[in-house]
Structure 1
Amino acid sequence: MPVIEERTARVSELRDRLGKAGISVDASEHRRQEYSYDASNYRVRPEFVVFPSTTEDLKTILVGASEADVPVTLRGGGTSMAGNAVGDGVVIDVSRQMTTVDEIDHATNTVWVDAGVVLGELRAHVERNSGGQLTFAPDPSSLSRATVGGSIGNDACGNHSVEYGRMSNHVVEIELLTIDGAHLVASKGGVRTADETHRHSVARAAEINDALRALANSNLAALRLELQTIPRQVSGYHLANLLPENGFNLARALAGTEGTCAIILRARVNLVTKPGPTALLCVGYNNTVDSARDVMTMLEMRPSAIEGLNSAIVDIMRHRRGEASVSSLPNGDAYVMVEFSADTIDHATEKCDELLTRLRDRGLVQDSVIATEPAERAKLWRVREDGAGLSSKRLDGTQTWPGWEDSAVAPENLADYLAELLPVIEEHGYTASMYGHFGAGCVHMRLDFELRTEAGRENFSSFMRRAAEIVVRHGGSLSGEHGDGRARSALLDLMYSQEVLELFQGFKDIWDPSNLLNPGIIVDPVPFTDSLSLQGFPSQNVALPMPTIRPVTPIGQGAFVLGITEADHHEIGTFVGNAHACIGVGRCRATSGGFMCPSYRATKDEKDSTRGRARVLQELARGQGTSAGGWARPEVREALDLCLSCKACSTDCPTGVDMAEAKSELIQDHYRGKLRPFTHYSIGWLPRWLPLVTRMSTIANIGAKIPLLRWVGEKLGISARRRMPEFSTHAELRKRVAEADFSSDGEILVFADSFTKAFRPEVIPAAARVLRSSGAEVGCAADACCGLTWISTGQRDGATKRLANLVEKLDDGTDRDIVVLEPSCAAAIRDDAPKLVGSEAAARVARRVRSFSVAVDEAMNRGWAPDALPPARAVVQTHCHEHAAFGSQSQRRVLSKWGVADVTESSSCCGVAGNFGFEAEHFDLSMQVAEHSIIPALKKGGDEALVLTDGFSCTMQVSQINPFRETQHLAIALDPNNDRDASPRADKTGS
């Protein structure tokens, strides 16, 4: 039998065997595409993916793979930048089901935790269950999605490694499985069986201990001279832990093995005392080398963190997040952030002052700031922490890549290392966005490699070897945190002697003699130019404009299309280029912080993350040069079906992937000239029907409550379980518009959208009164439709016509603010109009648009204060589209200035997201999403809290959760003349 056919048969038999054992096995096309990538430059297609839930599941998988001779790759959050979380055999994802954290052992300050637990969730659990006394120390930038198992595998560190060291410093014991099914526990002193009744495990434990002791005893000189010579020597295996003076610590020796030796099930980790008050000193320098020369002086003061970054990171942050995001930085072209913790904030500040005096005496400092307020510290840290994602593109839109992003030297050698490396980067025609853990001598950088062409790859290969030679010459390590993976393993022969390389091989052979665990990594490495994800891609690396995040950046820039020429863009479609902006950092897999990604938070399934969807779309275009199949392809439909089109990814994703836009374009492409689903005509054309329905609102409202009609609606795609809104009458609308008393020459224009007019007309006069009380004459904008529902249902041609009409009406030659009462409509005009209409007029109109909360926030900044008395408590649900287009802080600022002391924010999508939550097939997920944020927020706020839902979708979700809970638009809340009984209530909805 030919080799390929034999392998196919073995893989098929293994897959069937695992399925019969009750293990979740997925060999679908979309799953294989999603798991072909991590956050590195590499693409390796697996045979299938498994999702074990127990140790027995994992044992069955490993024994089966061993017998079938199929490679195994363990995966947690899939955030590896070195390519050590992709493999061509079986990929085991432990992040979905192996997520248990045991009770804290307060006698030892340790806790047992499953490999699939996310670091940030572990930290939150520890702090919550220790009364805020303890925490888990390692804090890599991927803290919100990286898992314990993956972090042990890479020996991850983080911003505070100066004080707390690497992950290996916090690992006490590791429970593991070998490829042949032995169940062991590794700790200081060796390995032992986890099950005394399992003869194979007992025998393997003895065998491994004996073999490793013999290996160490015969290579003592090499272990002592070449390994663990600097704080961040992560490259290779950490075999110095086998030395007698280090206690033959196999738990620490296994940290950093990148899944090549054993499968980590669980680990017992150390906990530390939670730091006291902290102060942050940020110092500005002329250049990065100067900033590195002061590191040893900083270390003398024993700070908890020393983090560096260059001006490229700051420029990108300013462009993407706005001037305000970097306004706290001192002057300079390079920066170092030094943090001190102490028993009091005054003591921490004194340490900052003392260090600053020492640094000024050295003469390199250009400027400095000391931040003691939590908000200011967080703002400064955000510049550093967003570096990895934001630096994925230069300001001109050129993509940058990892590869040489993780080198490390001794801190005292950092400046000289950088002084030699930076000119070599320029020689090869690259630019570098740089940041890193300067206190530990570790440098992260992203370079604009060209990996699509043969010449580009040759230049890449030449640079990588030269860079490796430089770091070795300075006594450093190829990797200081991310591991070697596919990116650097083939360069280890430049760093280590042949004796040490043979030691690594011997260590691997003892654990995994058949070389099935993550083969090609560290030992017997694959070339770092193999399996590059861009190799063979049809287009050149042509930069188009970088996406920006509104409102703080210019409106109307074109979409960034990674690696797609202008001509290709028209042929392939924006959805391909936008998806290729994804670099796999996995921010969309975070379960807290930011609005992205509500569907992933509900399902914990990679396919429902922005990253998973982007990978499927990348595969759609791979090697085809066309969007062939598009929405009709099962893997594409499966990946995008549960996307709520909330647009949060366009803001929260560091690379600005806009999956809502991708989904809209794919749906349009698929249904062009075809009959569409009923919901596309009912909900999708809703603004077209509303003027007619409001003229017969009584009949419509009664009909919405008739069970038979609801049943018919369910069959047509509109959920019978979703509460329906109550239509206002046309007479009510006329009354409310008259009550608004609009001026014919208003300085501010109110745009009354279709939803507000049909369902909440009382908001119109309330908004006019509030804006008028701020000192402005208020007029009414021309009647038009933004086409939002056409966009969300993939009817972009129809949306373009409506937006073009709107632009023509609103582009009146003035720069008057246009205040749109429904935030999703404001976002459509702000974000979609320039893209779809593509004219200067559309850009002009977009710049004038404000959501109501933004307009009020600006008025308050000018000194205005509302007359209405503030409530004691409030719950705020910011609409996702407002978050994406305008930011999510304006309502919070308004409430703070108004005097509301107790504000609870729902920090994610409510779950309705326009038409999504009304569709029968999506109702259940809609309510699962609500469980993540809005439901807890309502409970935390209490029954007496004012609930603010400017978005009509959000109002409907609160009504669904509690039909008797009152909600208000901010305009109603701020209007002192408004009768509270006239404000919209959830009980105005139909059943």
Structure 2
Amino acid sequence: MPKSDDAVMATLLERLRTSGIDVDDSPRRRSEYSYDASNYRVRPAAVAFPRNVDDVRTVMRACSASGVPTTARGGGTSMAGNAIGEGLVIDTSRWMTAVGTLDAGHRAVWVDAGVVLGELRAHVERATQGELTFAPDPSSQTRATIGGSIGNDACGNHSVAYGRMTHHVQELELVTADGAYLRAGREFLRAVDETDAHSVGRAEEILLELRSLVQANLAPIRVELQTIPRQVSGYHLGHLLPEHGFDVAGALAGSEGTCAVVVRAKVGLVRKPKTTALLCLGYEDTIESARDVMTILGAKPSAAEGLDAAIVDIMRHRRGAASVDSLPQGNAFLMVEFSGDTITEASDDCERLLEKLRADGRVIDHSIVTEPLERAKLWRVREDGAGLSSRRIDGVQTWPGWEDSAVAPERLADYLAELLPLVRQYGYSAFMYGHFGAGCVHMRLDYDLRSESGRRKFEDFTREAAKLVVAHGGSLSGEHGDGRARSELLDVMYSAEVVALFKQFKRVWDPAGVLNPGIIVDPEPFAASLALEDVARPGPSHGEQAALLAAAVVPSAEDRTLLPTVSPFVGNTHACIGVGRCRATAGGFMCPSYRATKDEKDSTRGRARVLQELTRVQGSGRDGWSTPEVREALDLCLSCKACSADCPTGVDIAEAKSQLVDEYYRGRIRPFTHYSIGWLPRWLPLLTKVAPIANVGTRIRPFRFMGELLGVSARRRLPDFARSRRIRRSIREAGLTDGAQVLLFIDSFTRAFRPEVVPAAARVLRDAGRSVGCTPDACCGLTWISTGQREGARRRLSRLITRLDDGTDRDIVVLEPSCAATIRDEGPKLVGGTAAARVAARVRSFSVAVDEAINRGWKPKTVPPQAAVLQTHCHEHAVFGSGAQKRVLEAWGVPTIVESSSCCGVAGNFGFEAEHFDVSMKVAEHSIIPALGGGGREALVLTDGFSCAMQVSQVDAQRESQHLAIALDPESTCGA
């Protein structure tokens, strides 16, 4: 806001706080909410977190009286810039998350605006035993909220069967700019509370003006609005026509928070299909695939989605060849789904359509997929498109901007035949996917939004693309809304008469213009407020620099100028594009701290945005860690590294945090835990020699209290140190030999706390047909990395790599998954060079090694347990994937497998630190505690990670967990 408005804002915030409203104007919070998933950055003055409707009314009355602009926000996943704004941002997603009583008879339910779509779907399906579901399913459904999805009029993969949010909204409860609390529906707009004179009067006033507005403009509304299935641009005034039942709620869908703040919605439900079959079609190119859309629609599918080979190539590069191996041959693909009461019925529909398409001669290959896991895998290719395509294989980033155009399905091929040459004419490369059955095209382009010339080119292209889609009778937006990306272009699409009508509609609801200003009406220029304007291109990280130097590669002149000026975490954090998958509460390991707190600051996205703001202000200054907003944002990062794998753009906040801490503390005194836990492998040889004394010491209350004062939690159950004699006996028992086929890496944690794992692992590997040797005694430096002592870690990793690079290609099996991940992932980045790459390629976690042995034909000899609870270490998940242990258990014959869905909550030193103990246990409530309960008391609990084993013992001191090697040991009695 302008400086002259500072006093106004201060008065407003004081008023809100006095009223008990949770409002935050800290620099960190403002940074987190300066972005959504679009190209834009607008820094708000403050963020409010209302807990109920009364809070929203209080906020709106205060803002209206002060003239402060207000932007309502849900999951913050808007790709058009409609969830950011100056003034006050209202986030309904944190507290307004109640789901009302489900009315199965009328197939409807009332929900708060902050309810996440995927969570609503899961709730409905549980409550109706799978009979009903909530239909809209955009790719952001795991974090997009009801309020935001109504604001954008979102759709999803199944829109050809179920339409847009408009078709599922029956009634809305909303708060107007001046605080009136109204309910809107078909043929009515009234006060929720009839004793509230202000709301009653406002409802009557608005209703009268709406009827007058529509009656005076019947012709332009009928001619220009609702002409194609995905006409989302502008206001949906066609719903107010008499023939459409004067549906006020429908008219507000797609209004992007510019007319009122949606606080609750009554949404319709649909019958959940009993089963589905997926027909995947391969084509020579995307235009050819679009020419088959009308034939496909004639077969009445439940979904008809398109994607190009560029998306598939990125998926293959990022997720591996197995992620796309069910796709047919081709350079473009259509995914057509049919629902049915039986899988035979759905498959027959696929076959009948295929016969028609063969006659047209455009399909070059196909596959019909009926197995649920294979279907899910294929849908993941389509659903991950937006995030994965944000970065080309060569690392160049791509951006939205012209990502949401739509035409009538019958005109899709002709539109693409002109759009794609236009893209090439401007020198862009496109990554395209979309709801082809509805004529909606999503694409990301490699714009240069940093330079002035690049922005001019972006602006010229966008204006030409807008004229092109309108020439084909299409819409600027088919799902994401106009926002800052397209509102300025509405006069290209609509007549001056309709644009003026939009302004009248906005004024009826919001006469003072305080709600989301600059969107749809009186628009901001679409090339203004671009987040990358004059932001330097990210330079290489420390690891990339090290790799270049080790490989004797001379950086380019441009890179050389960037090396001394760009902080190493810049490229990492600027990879965040706001997709927001880190805000999902289920699926994947990311982000455990957000799941514990539900606070944006504890999401990967929130942290990345704070660091992006830091680089704007501070460049490469080494005091970044001392900045209060940075420390607050990163404080609850567990360094679990799940974001490096689960984030579609690969943001690695653990690495960024390590680098920041390293920069700040270089040459300074560090916290005690950096020397105790951070240097633990250095102390372990001494502690194991005096194990009996050390173990007694960890249980004496005064010593525990002293540890608490120094930062090590007195509430954390500490492990017993193994005696040196026991360690030596275990290694002898392992029978390790020289010249073996497999090398066993005995890490510091296994050696000091679980030495019995060593002989068990050796026996399993020998039983699988491999002779087993031992690697040289060395440390991978993991604890140095997690505490931001990167030079110490680099030295240890360098020594380790030198010792392991023995000229062979023998597998190196690492018993502690976090150590395996460190050698595999951090070695090439911190040390660099061909030796680090060779060693990294040889490293296996134990579960991966056993999985590979099973694939070669080996079977475990021990009797499997009846049930198992599986906690995959988060570092193993991030670097090796989380499927190996489960595949091993399935091959072993374990009938019931319960998986923990996220980090256990310890993640190295985090869970041992006094200040983080409570959050550590809160994280455990999300994942490992429910898994332990679901598996039953007799279930085998598998924790290959030492930190995971410690959390299990903390949760239940009577519950023993085991390393996979112990469970599979041929001499074990497990399961018997």
Q: TM-score range by the shorter chain?
A: over 0.9
2:785 alignment partner, SS class: helix
* 1:450–1:541 Cα contact (<8 Å) kept: no
Residues 244-295 of structure 1 deviation map (CA, whole Å, 9 limit, x = unaligned):
0000000000000000000001000001111111000000000000000000
Is 1:235 aligned to 2:229, yes or no?
no
Residue in structure 2 matched with residue 182 of structure 1 by the alignment? 180
Aligned residue among 753, 757, 766 for 1:763: 757
Residue in structure 1 matched with residue 624 of structure 2 by the alignment? 630
CA distance in 2, matches of 1:427, 1:545: 37
* 2:115–2:146 Cα contact (<8 Å) kept: yes
Residue in structure 2 matched with residue 421 of structure 1 by the alignment? 419
Instruction: Quote the offset at 1:571 in angstroms.
Output: 3.3
Relative to structure 1, the CA distance from residue 566 to residue 297 in structure 2 (aligned partners, 3 Å threshold; closer, same or farther) is: farther
Residue in structure 2 matched with residue 822 of structure 1 by the alignment? 816
CA distance in 2, matches of 1:628, 1:448: 31
Relative to structure 1, the CA distance from residue 833 to residue 540 in structure 2 (aligned partners, 3 Å threshold; closer, same or farther) is: closer
* 2:114–2:147 Cα contact (<8 Å) kept: yes
Relative to structure 1, the CA distance from residue 123 to residue 215 in structure 2 (aligned partners, 3 Å threshold; closer, same or farther) is: same
CA distance in 1, matches of 2:560, 2:368: 46
Aligned residue among 906, 912, 915 for 1:918: 912
Residue in structure 1 matched with residue 169 of structure 2 by the alignment? 171
Residues 1-49 of structure 1 deviation map (CA, whole Å, 9 limit, x = unaligned):
xx94441111110000001111101010100000000000000000000
RMSD, aligned CA: 1.8
CA distance in 1, matches of 2:435, 2:587: 24
Residue in structure 1 matched with residue 643 of structure 2 by the alignment? 649
* 1:284–1:332 Cα contact (<8 Å) kept: yes
CA distance in 1, matches of 2:441, 2:730: 61
Residue in structure 2 matched with residue 16 of structure 1 by the alignment? 14
CA distance in 1, matches of 2:185, 2:723: 73
| More off after superposition, 567-576 vs 473-482 | 567-576
CA distance in 2, matches of 1:270, 1:546: 52
Counterpart of 1:69 in structure 2: which amino acid? G
* 1:396–1:546 Cα contact (<8 Å) kept: no
Instruction: Quote the offset at 1:820 in angstroms.
Output: 0.1
Is 1:110 aligned to 2:108, yes or no?
yes
Residue in structure 1 matched with residue 827 of structure 2 by the alignment? 833
Residue in structure 2 matched with residue 698 of structure 1 by the alignment? 692
1:127 alignment partner, SS class: helix
Question: Counterparts in 2 of 1:343-422, with a 5 A limit?
Answer: 343-422=341-420
Relative to structure 1, the CA distance from residue 540 to residue 659 in structure 2 (aligned partners, 3 Å threshold; closer, same or farther) is: closer
Residues 345-395 of structure 1 deviation map (CA, whole Å, 9 limit, x = unaligned):
000000001111111110000100000000110111111010000000111
| More off after superposition, 101-110 vs 511-520 | 101-110
Instruction: Quote the offset at 1:137 in angstroms.
Output: 0.3
Residues 610-659 of structure 1 deviation map (CA, whole Å, 9 limit, x = unaligned):
00000000011115432353100000000000000000000000000000
Aligned residue among 934, 954, 957 for 1:960: 954
Counterpart of 1:604 in structure 2: which amino acid? K
State TM-score, norm by structure 1: 0.96
2:962 alignment partner, SS class: coil
CA distance in 1, matches of 2:113, 2:521: 24
Counterpart of 2:504 in structure 1: which amino acid? G
CA distance in 2, matches of 1:148, 1:431: 33
Residue in structure 1 matched with residue 614 of structure 2 by the alignment? 620
Question: Counterparts in 2 of 1:818-967, with a 5 A limit?
Answer: 818-967=812-961
Instruction: Quote the offset at 1:540 in angstroms.
Output: 4.1
Question: Counterparts in 2 of 1:159-308, with a 5 A limit?
Answer: 159-308=157-306
Residue in structure 2 matched with residue 524 of structure 1 by the alignment? 522
CA distance in 1, matches of 2:27, 2:541: 31
Counterpart of 2:79 in structure 1: which amino acid? M
Residue in structure 2 matched with residue 787 of structure 1 by the alignment? 781
Instruction: Quote the offset at 1:568 in angstroms.
Output: 2.4
Question: Counterparts in 2 of 1:376-775, with a 5 A limit?
Answer: 376-537=374-535, 539-540=536-537, 565=559, 567-622=561-616, 624-627=618-621, 629-775=623-769
| More off after superposition, 762-771 vs 627-636 | 627-636
2:417 alignment partner, SS class: helix
Relative to structure 1, the CA distance from residue 584 to residue 108 in structure 2 (aligned partners, 3 Å threshold; closer, same or farther) is: same
Residue in structure 2 matched with residue 988 of structure 1 by the alignment? none
* 1:398–1:543 Cα contact (<8 Å) kept: no
Aligned residue among 93, 96, 99 for 2:97: 99
CA distance in 1, matches of 2:210, 2:829: 62
Aligned residue among 319, 324, 327 for 1:326: 324
2:640 alignment partner, SS class: coil
Instruction: Quote the offset at 1:901 in angstroms.
Output: 1.1
Residue in structure 2 matched with residue 132 of structure 1 by the alignment? 130
2:110 alignment partner, SS class: strand
Counterpart of 2:718 in structure 1: which amino acid? M
* 1:540–1:564 Cα contact (<8 Å) kept: no
* 2:541–2:568 Cα contact (<8 Å) kept: no
Relative to structure 1, the CA distance from residue 350 to residue 566 in structure 2 (aligned partners, 3 Å threshold; closer, same or farther) is: farther
* 1:620–1:627 Cα contact (<8 Å) kept: no
Counterpart of 2:728 in structure 1: which amino acid? R
1:649 alignment partner, SS class: helix
* 1:766–1:972 Cα contact (<8 Å) kept: yes
Instruction: Quote the offset at 1:569 in angstroms.
Output: 4.3
Residues 41-76 of structure 1 deviation map (CA, whole Å, 9 limit, x = unaligned):
000000000100011111110010011100000000
Counterpart of 1:817 in structure 2: which amino acid? D
CA distance in 2, matches of 1:141, 1:763: 43
Instruction: Quote the offset at 1:558 in angstroms.
Output: 14
* 1:569–1:577 Cα contact (<8 Å) kept: no
Counterpart of 2:347 in structure 1: which amino acid? T
Counterpart of 1:962 in structure 2: which amino acid? D
Counterpart of 1:120 in structure 2: which amino acid? G
1:571 alignment partner, SS class: coil
Counterpart of 1:682 in structure 2: which amino acid? S
CA distance in 1, matches of 2:281, 2:2: 59
Report the count of equivalent residues.
969
Residues 437-479 of structure 1 deviation map (CA, whole Å, 9 limit, x = unaligned):
0000000000001111111111000000000001000000000
Relative to structure 1, the CA distance from residue 43 to residue 456 in structure 2 (aligned partners, 3 Å threshold; closer, same or farther) is: same
* 2:117–2:144 Cα contact (<8 Å) kept: yes
2:813 alignment partner, SS class: strand
Residues 661-686 of structure 1 deviation map (CA, whole Å, 9 limit, x = unaligned):
00001011111111111100000000
CA distance in 2, matches of 1:394, 1:605: 31
Counterpart of 2:668 in structure 1: which amino acid? K
State TM-score, norm by structure 2: 0.98
1:70 alignment partner, SS class: coil
* 1:579–1:615 Cα contact (<8 Å) kept: yes
Counterpart of 1:179 in structure 2: which amino acid? A
CA distance in 2, matches of 1:776, 1:851: 16
